[in-house]
Amino acid sequence: MNQTFRKIFSSKFNNLSFVVSLVFVLGGWLWAYLALRTISLPLIIHFSNISGINQVGYAWDLAKVGLFGILVVMVNFLIAYELELRDKFLAKLASAFTLFLSILIFIYFAAIISVN
């Protein structure tokens, strides 16, 4: 068991990108919850300059995005860990993709906050 943890924590880039990705997703989700808890329902989920409000939703819609983001970050961390044993480049690529995706999810939460 001790060797398994040692192997998991041996790759600093994968671990750092995992932690930063979780911070982005959880931070954006918490920020959206704290900023939008006083807004009357429904929330504006999608807004376009051309057509205006395209989609409205509820706080549960934001929660689904947050839960999906956490799930993707965790699964990609496990994929990057398995790839680390076979090909270090692909492991770093998977970790970088996870970080990029979590930044996009954070931007999504920021956009929802700014529209509402």
Distance CA 3, CA 6 (A): 5
**Model pTM score:** 0.84
Boundaries of every domain in the chain: 13-115
Query: Would you give per-residue pLDDT tens digits along the chain (116 residues)?
Result: 566 656 666 678 888 999 999 999 999 999 998 888 887 778 887 777 788 788 888 888 888 999 999 999 999 999 998 888 888 899 999 999 999 999 999 999 998 888 88
Left, alpha or beta for 3 (phi > 0: left; psi -120 to 50: alpha)?
alpha
